Amino acid sequence: MQLLAVPSKRRQGGRTQSSRALLWFLCVLAGVLGRGSGCPSVCICNGTDVDCSGRGLLYVPTLNLPPSSRALLLANNRLSTLPADAFSNSTSLELLDLSNNFLDNLPATLFHDLANLTELVLRNNSLTVLDRDLFQGLTQLRRLDLSLNGLSAVPLGLLDDLSGLTRLSLAANRLHALERAAFEPLANLQYLHLGGNPWECDCNLRDFKHWIEWLLYRGGRLDAVECTLPKDLRGRDIRGVPVEMFNYCLQLEDENGGSKGGSPPCSRGGAAQPSGSPPVADTAPAPDCVRQRYRPVSVRRAIGTVVIAGVVCGIVCIMMVAAAAYGCIYASLMAKYQRELKKRQPLMGDGDADGDPEEKQISSVA
């Protein structure tokens, strides 16, 4: 804080400015000292561009940009958090570049005032979760770069206002599946980058694969979507995985459909896909359809049931065979024993009396 008191040679006016020469990253606080509308002291401004990149900033300077400002460049700094109102004075911005920082959490309303924004770059940060309202109101957005983050999901609703988006990059994140419904608002998407994610090409990705086919059908471009799971599809590009590979998902749905109390089948959206016109809103799959992650567990359960039933049947069968065999052997042994008894002691005369109860016993065992 004391550093702030060091007078700056660069700025005139009686007010003390932060010491740009000493430590760049503390200069951020210069904004606190305030000024009328103008270029933040740590940035370089020409008519339309405000360039604050590579200044080692830990905090966003107070921004009171000239109303003509169209671009704000904050790339290559050390920003890790942003206050919700960081850009509330920057409504004229069309480009906002926050790439190569350490942002890990963005307030849901951070961009809400940037109604004219056409390009937003969040590449190479530490984002793991995005609030579903984060991009609300950014109806002019054309390019959105979220690559090189730690995103594991694209929440439903996140892209709802971005129908004008033409480029979207989600490359190099931790995505293993995407929900088709989240992407359906992107009716004008031209380029989609999904590479460098650990895709799991199971039923979970099936609906999204149908959406991909629709994207390609209307001329969109897509980079490689390589499966990491299941094992036998590792390294395969999902575009090359035949739809038939996902047929078993339909069976799973049929099986699970009954127990779930008549949820609509998920196949309808995909089947009618390449018929031309963009998907109608009502084909948005029900949440149940989209979340099929746990379906394979039920398969395993079903197989387990069959195995257990088989083992139980087998054991019962073996026991019955053993009992029958035991009965036969016992009967023949007893018969032989009686015969010998009669041979050895023909004069005792009681052989029949001994034999009868035993024979009854044998027949009851058999």
Burial class (CB in 10 A: 0-12, 13-18, 19+), 276: exposed
Q: Write down the least CB distance from residue 123 to ligand NAG, Å.
A: 7
Contact present, 210 and 269 (Cβ < 8 Å):
yes
SS3 44: strand
Contact present, 163 and 138 (Cβ < 8 Å):
no
- Contact range with ligand NAG by CB under 6 A, out of 4-12, 83-91, 174-182, 205-213: 83-91
C-alpha 203, offset from chain centre: 13
Q: Write down the least CB distance from residue 46 to ligand NAG, Å.
A: 4
**CA 306 to CA 151: how far, in whole Å?**
39
Q: How many CB atoms lie within 10 A of CB 15?
A: 12
Among 26, 57, 63, 177, binds ligand NAG (CB under 6 A): 63
- Contact range with ligand NAG by CB under 6 A, out of 10-18, 47-55, 226-234, 313-321: 47-55
**Contact characters 259-298, ligand NAG, x per CB under 6 A:** ----------------------------------------
Q: What residues numbered 151-190 form the site for ligand NAG, per CB under 6 A?
A: none
Q: Looking at beta carbons only, is 109 or 116 nearer to ligand NAG?
A: 116
**CA 269 to CA 275: how far, in whole Å?**
11
Q: Looking at beta carbons only, is 34 or 262 nearer to ligand NAG?
A: 34
- Contact range with ligand NAG by CB under 6 A, out of 10-18, 41-49, 214-222, 335-343: 41-49
Strand ranges, E, within the chain: 44-45, 49-51, 71-73, 95-97, 119-121, 143-145, 167-169, 191-193, 199-200, 221-222, 227-229
- Contact range with ligand NAG by CB under 6 A, out of 82-90, 189-197, 224-232, 246-254: 82-90
Contact present, 140 and 165 (Cβ < 8 Å):
no
- Contact range with ligand NAG by CB under 6 A, out of 85-93, 221-229, 259-267, 325-333: 85-93
Q: What residues numbered 210-239 form the site for ligand NAG, per CB under 6 A?
A: none
Helix (H) or strand (E) segment spanning residue 231: none
**CA 359 to CA 366: how far, in whole Å?**
11
Q: Looking at beta carbons only, is 48 or 361 nearer to ligand NAG?
A: 48
Among 5, 12, 13, 46, binds ligand NAG (CB under 6 A): 46
47 sits near ligand NAG (criterion: CB under 6 A): yes
Rounded to 5 degrees, φ, ψ at 97 are -115, 115
Q: Looking at beta carbons only, is 108 or 250 nearer to ligand NAG?
A: 108
92 sits near ligand NAG (criterion: CB under 6 A): yes
Instruction: List the end-to-end C-alpha distance of the chain, in Å, as a whole number.
Output: 99
Q: How many residues bind ligand NAG (CB under 6 A)?
A: 19
Residues that bind ligand NAG (CB under 6 A): 46-49, 51, 62-64, 76, 85-86, 88-89, 91-92, 100, 116, 124, 148
